[in-house]
Amino acid sequence: MEYVLNKNGRGILLSMVRAIQENKAYLGEIDGLIGDGDHGMNMNKGFSVYAETLGENETSVSDGLYDLGTNLLNKIGGSMGPIYGTILLHMSEQAEDVERIDLPQFIKMLESGMEGLYEIVDARPGDKTLVDTLYPALAALKAAEGAGKSFTVALEDMKTAAETGKESTRNLAAKYGRSARLGERSRGFLDAGAVSCCIILKAMASSMQKQMEDEDVPDSDWL
C-alpha cells in the first residue's frame, strides 16, 4: 500500500512527540553550544502539552498537525514556536480534505510548509537553520517521485537527505538567531533547529512507513 489514511494520524503524531521527548536533553546540549540552550526544553514542552491534550483520543493527520502547530505557536517561546507552528499549520491545510496521503500529496504538504516558512523568515539553504534540513528533505521526495520510486522508498530517501542536511550545518556560519552573533565562530557546531527538524521528519516518515507496512496485505489474502 503506497499511502496512509489521513484518519490514522494518532500514531504518526505521537511518534513525533516521543522523538522530541526522547531527544530533549540532546537538543538542549546542542543549542547550549552556540545558542541559549532552551530549544530542547521549549520543544519538549510544546509537544508534551499537545500529547496531554490529545489524551486517548484519535486524530487525523491533518487535524493533528493543526492542533500541534497551534499548540507550538502558543506554548513555545522565542522564534521556534512561530516557525514550527507555521510549517505544521500549512501542512495541515494542504491535507485538510484528503482521504489518502500518498507521495504526491505528502510532497504538497511539505512544500506548503516550506512556502509558509519562507513567508515569515529570510533564511534559505546555507544559512545554518532548519531550512538546511527541510529543503533537502523536500528535494529528495521530489527526486524520488521523478524517478518513479515508491512512497516507502521516497520516505527513506527523505530521511537520509534530512540527516545529511542537518549535518551540513556543522560547517556553516550562522546568519540568523542568537548564534548569528558568533559569526564565523559558529562553525563546527550543529544548528539546533536543523537537528530538531531532522528528528521530527524522521519520526514522521518512520511512522508512515510502519503504517504502510502493517496494512500492506498480500493479494492472496483477499481470495
Phi and psi for 102 in degrees, rounded to 5? Answer: -110, -170
Tens digits of per-residue pLDDT, 121-136?
A: 999 999 999 999 999 9
Q: Check pLDDT > 80 for residue 215.
A: no
Q: Check pLDDT > 80 for residue 222.
A: no
Of all residues in the chain, the percent with pLDDT exceeding 70 is 96
Tens digits of per-residue pLDDT, 93-124?
A: 999 999 999 999 999 999 999 999 999 999 99
| Whole-number pLDDT of residue 220 | 31
CA proximity to 150, closest of 76, 68, 208: 208
Cα distance between residue 62 and residue 106, in whole Å: 11
**Can you give the residue ranges of every domain in the chain?**
3-214
Task: Please state which of the ranges 33-37, 43-47, 157-161 shows the lowest mean pLDDT.
Answer: 33-37
Q: Rounded mean pLDDT of the chain? A: 93
All three cell numbers of 130:
532548519
> For the residues 141-170, what does the mean pLDDT come to?
98
Residue with the bigger pLDDT between 78 and 222: it is 78
Q: Check pLDDT > 50 for residue 221.
A: no
Q: Check pLDDT > 70 for residue 223.
A: no
At 91, the pLDDT band (50, 70, 90 cuts) reads very high
Q: What is the pTM of this model?
A: 0.93
Burial 37-64 (b: 16+ CB within 10 A, else e): bbbbbbbbbbbbbbbeebeeeebbbbbb
Q: Check pLDDT > 80 for residue 38.
A: yes
| Whole-number pLDDT of residue 1 | 76
For residues 207, 98, 61 and 147, what is the CA-based torsion angle, rounded to 10 degrees? 30
Q: Check pLDDT > 80 for residue 217.
A: no
| Whole-number pLDDT of residue 216 | 54
| Whole-number pLDDT of residue 181 | 80
Q: Check pLDDT > 90 for residue 75.
A: no
| Whole-number pLDDT of residue 47 | 96
The CATH architecture annotation of domain 3-214 reads Alpha Horseshoe (1.25)
At 180, the pLDDT band (50, 70, 90 cuts) reads confident
Contact between 92 and 65 under an 8 Å Cβ cutoff? The reply is: yes
